[in-house]
Structure 1
């Protein structure tokens, strides 16, 4: 099983905190590169406390391309309806050249209504737009010209530049858990980026099985591999013991979960379902979620506990775990946890 590093948090509110956070990301990415992790995933987030330093995964990946040597650099995720497909192809072609072919992109439909101040007309049909543009993105990456409307309102044929280093762009589809999205990824023959959070092992097993069957039955797509990769995000901190892991990760992870619930509450598209929660209810909810993570779905614990979790995920059909590391732990703790995880992987 492949192990990667995923960034998804970062709650520093000050400008100085943001600058330091980019230093942390570069340092952790270099360590992951040295330790043999497969990829670094960076998200696209806008206007929220959670994910403040991640407005553009292509921009950050360009910096990581010059700071690393072998590790793959992936968007996890890119909200495709917020962008023109031509711009996506051109931006990631730059990163592909800088990294000598180490890029990958997971396409997301988007979910938070506030994100779409960048493209308000794309919100209502964001799912259809995203899945439609996957095929177009593949063609543009391959160098095919396509017709678009120019500044004069005329249709013109253009092809993106620069040309990418790689012949095909590795693509994932991001899912928050919807079975329909798992099936859509199979039909499009993209890899899939999901999470262990918010579902039981049995539910996840069913979705992976459905994805595998749909992928196998779908017609071939340009640049798509014969079988898809299932990548699952899991909160990760490998400590010397289970007790140490709970003690060090508990506070930061609960605080992260509270921030995430507040972000969800601010989404007008969610209908305000989480907005009415009191502080006491938030404490109860986050405490329950943390205990559930310790039981299943995380890599939080001793090396032996995490070894068992990885074996379970492999049995489930997971090909890669994207280890979510920046949920509030300090840089030194993250680095120490990655060292232990690398040692664990080497012994499996």
Structure 2
């Protein structure tokens, strides 16, 4: 199982928030995280300062070597899918095939209005734009590294039909349909299922509670990656540092995440221009075994 880290790139000063994010990405790679994800927010929605995630991830690509670079997520109905495909292809080439392109319908009605879109049409618009996007992306990016962050059963089914990975941020405790949706996705996903769980780790919780909450998550057996984020989302840099390090050192072993693939085979694949396809997570539904601590 892979381990990723997500930040919403918040703060009063955008330039400082961007610099802190670059530093956080470098530290995540040092600690052995498999992926680093940034959220898109327009006009400071929910405190987020990053409207252009691919631009910032291009800077991250120049400062890192192995860690995968994710968008969590680009609001697809507000984008021109042709333009997004071109920008994503450039970043993927620049980073040596490390882009993980996460898209979603968007949750900000004000942004939809400012972009001249109808927020109520976002799910229909996402489907239409996604079909264009998948046709234009480089094949490996379209079929292996594109993800859909969705909270609806219909969209999970649409992702399965298109061979798109699912980014699931819905807590099963609040929405019991999550596990059933993921089980159905595993059955019908074209080209092989890919599930990543996005889970908050409140900074005030003990390490033991973080481990207990993650291992008790009924969606965990369906996932090949867990993407954690500090809570609150507007947490300052020192909180991100603490959660990042604590998760890598103490939580990761209980998730069965072995750490960075920095061996000879991975290095050779990277030198050849991209991650080795055999480095993909081995995702099989499985019971989560508790380990004494």
TM-score tier by shorter-chain length is 0.7 to 0.9
- Per the alignment, residue 192 of structure 1 pairs with 166
Give a deviation string over 1:255-314, Cα, whole Å, max 9, x none: xxxxxxxxxxxxxxxxxxxxxxxxxxxxxxxxxxxxxxxxxxxxxx22222222232236
**In the alignment, structure 1 residue 208 sits paired with structure 2 residue 174:** no
- Corresponding residue SS for 2:227: strand
Tell me how many residue pairs correspond in the alignment. Answer: 252
1:88 Cα deviation from its structure 2 partner? 0.8
1:215 Cα deviation from its structure 2 partner? 4.8
Structure 2: stretches of 5+ with no match in the other structure: 255-293
**In the alignment, structure 1 residue 323 sits paired with structure 2 residue 244:** no
CA contact (8 A) 2:9 2:39 kept: no
Candidates 94, 97, 114, aligned match of 2:90: 94
**In the alignment, structure 1 residue 341 sits paired with structure 2 residue 247:** yes
Give the TM-score of the pair, scaled to structure 2. 0.76
1:101 Cα deviation from its structure 2 partner? 0.4
C-alpha change, 1:122 and 1:27, in structure 2 (3 Å) is same
- Corresponding residue SS for 2:33: coil
CA contact (8 A) 2:170 2:178 kept: no
Correspondence list, 1:98-113, <5 A: 98-113=94-109
1:196 Cα deviation from its structure 2 partner? 4.2
- Per the alignment, residue 310 of structure 1 pairs with 214
**In the alignment, structure 1 residue 236 sits paired with structure 2 residue 182:** no
- Corresponding residue SS for 2:192: coil
Candidates 69, 74, 99, aligned match of 1:73: 69
Give the TM-score of the pair, scaled to structure 1. 0.65
Q: RMSD across aligned C-alpha pairs, in angstroms?
A: 2.6
Give a deviation string over 1:174-226, Cα, whole Å, max 9, x none: 12x333333332233311112245x516x34x3233233245335x3xxxx41
Equivalent-residue separation in structure 2 for 1:121 and 1:18 (angstroms): 26
**In the alignment, structure 1 residue 226 sits paired with structure 2 residue 132:** no
- Per the alignment, residue 159 of structure 1 pairs with none
Equivalent-residue separation in structure 1 for 2:119 and 2:4 (angstroms): 31
Correspondence list, 1:124-143, <5 A: 124-142=120-138
Equivalent-residue separation in structure 1 for 2:170 and 2:155 (angstroms): 15
- Corresponding residue SS for 1:50: helix
1:123 Cα deviation from its structure 2 partner? 4.1
Which is higher, the Rg of structure 1 or of structure 2? 1
C-alpha change, 1:110 and 1:330, in structure 2 (3 Å) is closer
